[in-house]
């Protein structure tokens, strides 16, 4: 009988757990639990949700587990291992000024870490803590990321020295060198405004176990959510992944590192030993929900209306920076409707323009990757919004090439499960699981001029 492995996706919105056959990848069981809303959350809520989900699946014998988690979130711990304050999540933009300060103070930070800092990065949040909550900053004995902390909690360990992570998630801190696989201690000290020795989770190999749960289950190193998704998709060099969830991400598997001084592209590591240059937008599927609710229609009606409208929505444009923006780095930006006339301000055109605006943001993010020499031959579209037919077709039209749709799945959790199976096998490469048929959506309409207009509006 094949071993069963567990993969966890601890995201902003929820925790999802999948159980898969370690040899074939066949899905055995799955479940999920919601997370509290907000940009700062008590990490204990994540642990409660994970414990509840694993309890539901306790009738299965799990032989290895791995956790994929939302990147960047700052979990500050004191010397007793207690959480000092609610974790600041990736989408908390209060640290935008702190990011600017650190970029000015450490002028070669993008060369050393692969990334120019923006508000999302952990280093920016550490600096914000040092400047705005001095008493809390004085207590800091360790800084963990969400997935590091959850893995550590599963072990039941009390020692901060038992914290462990992987290079993919560490590469989102802003104080890690993904080429040499080591922390930049001086950058961390600058962020904290203190050079005392603070514990940072040890980096372990992508096919290794970092600890054992209180129930005896080996725990693999885990990964950042995008790296786990790439592993779950079996993405390789030459693949561009467009993920449309709460945020939108464009990332590609690359065998070389990137160093973007503009800050638009983060030079992340992947979960296998390669690199994962990534550009992220703060506004994706949430835009569709907001616009559909405002129009008083269901999401399926929203999609049908968008497909009924012409490419370019008869000149109506929506710049979808409703929650500020990360790519381009404008955390205080607002959304914009432009090109409105009496004739084009219809429900159909508004629905179309909302989707076009989001996809245009992903094209802009992809162009940022291209400027750094990142090449790709295939575009994979994933995320909750990727199931929508209008989103699929508009993406194909705006990218001007076929879009590939993997089968429905929990890609982050699937990637974590694959990593657990990899560590369990002792092999040098991840298992090759067949995840089903990949569909192809070809472009139907020419959208070059509309895309060019959106690029200019975003730049403005």
Tell me if domain 4-225 and domain 235-405+430-460 are identical in fold: yes
pLDDT of res. 305: 97
pLDDT of res. 5: 98
- Nearest-5° Cα angle at 425, 420 to 426: 105
Preceding omega of 65 cis (within 30 degrees of 0): no
Structural fold of domain 4-225:
Nucleotidyltransferase; domain 5 (3.30.420)
Distances in Å between the Cα of 80 and the Cα atoms of 159, 161, 294, 335 are 8, 12, 48, 44
pLDDT of res. 435: 74
299 backbone dihedrals φ, ψ, rounded to 5°: -65, -35
Please list the alpha-helical segments (H only) found in 133-224. Answer: 134-139, 146-155, 167-170, 185-192
Give the DSSP H/E element, type plus range, for residue 303. helix 299-308
Instruction: Output the tens digit of pLDDT for each of the chain's 460 residues.
Output: 799 999 999 999 899 999 999 999 999 999 999 999 999 999 999 999 999 999 999 999 999 999 999 999 999 999 999 999 999 999 898 999 999 999 999 999 999 999 999 899 999 999 999 999 999 999 999 999 999 999 999 999 889 999 999 999 999 999 999 999 999 999 999 999 999 999 999 999 999 999 999 999 999 999 999 999 999 999 999 999 999 987 899 999 999 999 988 888 999 999 999 999 999 898 999 999 999 999 999 989 999 999 999 999 999 999 999 988 888 888 889 999 999 999 999 999 999 999 999 999 999 999 999 999 999 999 999 988 999 999 999 999 999 999 999 988 899 999 999 999 999 999 999 999 987 889 999 999 999 999 999 999 999 9
Residue ranges of domains in the chain: 4-225, 235-405+430-460
Q: Do the bridges between strand 4-10 and strand 14-21 make them parallel or antiparallel, or are there none, so unpaired? A: antiparallel
Distances in Å between the Cα of 24 and the Cα atoms of 168, 231, 415 are 25, 15, 14
Give the DSSP H/E element, type plus range, for residue 180. none
CATH number of 235-405+430-460: 3.30.420.40
Question: Order of strands across the sheet with 266-269?
Answer: 266-269, 275-281, 248-252, 239-244, 378-382, 403-405, 439-441
Catalytic residue IDs = 225
Helix (H, G, I), strand (E, B) or coil at 454: helix
pLDDT of res. 262: 83
pTM of the model: 0.89
In tens, the pLDDT along 251-263 reads: 999 999 999 888 8
- Altogether, the residues listed in the chain come to a count of 460
Give the DSSP H/E element, type plus range, for residue 366. helix 347-371
Could you tell me which residues are beta bridge partners of residue 64? Answer: 5
Q: What dihedral angle (degrees, nearest 10) is formed by the CA atoms of 423, 427, 429, 434?
A: -80
In angstroms, rounded to a whole number, what is the distance separating the alpha carbons of residues 152 and 212?
Answer: 9
pLDDT of res. 434: 82
Q: CB of 357 within 8 A of CB of 284?
A: no
Task: Please state the separation of Cα 245 from the chain's center in Å.
Answer: 9
**Residue 216: both structure tokens together:** 């005896």
pLDDT of res. 332: 86
Q: Do the bridges between strand 223-224 and strand 62-69 make them parallel or antiparallel, or are there none, so unpaired? A: parallel
């Amino acid at each position: 009988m094949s071993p069963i492995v567990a993969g966890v996706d601890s995201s902003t919105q929820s925790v999802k757990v999948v159980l898969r056959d370690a040899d074939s990848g066949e899905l055995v069981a799955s479940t999920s639990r919601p997370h509290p809303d907000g940009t700062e959350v008590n990490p204990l809520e994540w642990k409660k949700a994970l414990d509840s989900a694993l309890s539901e699946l306790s009738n299965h014998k799990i032989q290895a587990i791995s956790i994929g988690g939302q990147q960047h979130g700052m979990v500050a711990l004191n010397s007793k291992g207690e959480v000092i304050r609610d974790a600041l999540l990736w989408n908390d933009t209060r640290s935008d000024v702190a990011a600017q300060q650190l970029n000015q103070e450490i002028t070669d930070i993008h060369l050393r870490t692969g990334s120019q800092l923006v508000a999302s990065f952990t280093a920016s949040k550490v600096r914000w803590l040092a400047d705005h909550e001095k008493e809390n900053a004085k207590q800091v004995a360790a800084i963990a990321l969400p997935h590091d902390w959850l893995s550590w909690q599963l072990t039941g360990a009390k020692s901060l020295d038992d914290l462990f992570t992987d290079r993919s998630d560490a590469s989102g801190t802003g104080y890690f060198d993904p080429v040499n696989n080591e922390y930049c201690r001086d950058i961390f000290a600058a962020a904290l405004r203190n050079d005392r020795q603070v514990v940072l989770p040890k980096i372990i190999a992508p096919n290794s176990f970092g600890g054992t749960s209180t129930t005896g289950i080996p725990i693999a190193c885990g990964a950042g959510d995008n790296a786990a998704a790439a592993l779950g998709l079996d993405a390789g060099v030459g693949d561009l992944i467009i993920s449309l969830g709460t945020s939108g991400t464009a990332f590609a598997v690359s065998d070389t590192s990137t160093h973007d001084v503009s800050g638009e592209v983060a030079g992340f590591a992947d979960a296998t030993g390669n690199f994962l240059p990534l550009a992220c937008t703060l506004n994706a599927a949430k835009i569709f929900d907001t616009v559909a609710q405002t129009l008083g229609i269901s999401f399926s009606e929203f999609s049908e209306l968008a497909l009924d409208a012409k490419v370019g929505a008869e000149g109506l444009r929506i710049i979808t920076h409703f929650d500020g923006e990360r790519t381009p780095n404008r955390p205080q930006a607002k959304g914009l409707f432009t090109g409105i006339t009496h004739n084009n301000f219809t429900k159909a055109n508004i629905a179309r323009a909302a989707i076009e605006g989001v996809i245009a943001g992903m094209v802009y993010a992809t162009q940022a990757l291209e400027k750094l020499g990142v090449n790709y031959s295939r575009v994979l579209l994933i995320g909750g919004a990727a199931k929508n037919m209008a989103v699929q077709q508009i993406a194909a039209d705006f990218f001007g090439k076929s879009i590939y749709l993997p089968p429905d799945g929990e890609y982050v959790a699937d990637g974590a499960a694959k990593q657990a199976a990899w560590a369990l096998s002792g092999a040098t490469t991840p298992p090759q699981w067949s995840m089903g048929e990949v569909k192809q959506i070809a472009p139907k309409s020419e959208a070059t001029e509309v895309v060019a207009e959106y690029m200019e509006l975003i730049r403005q």
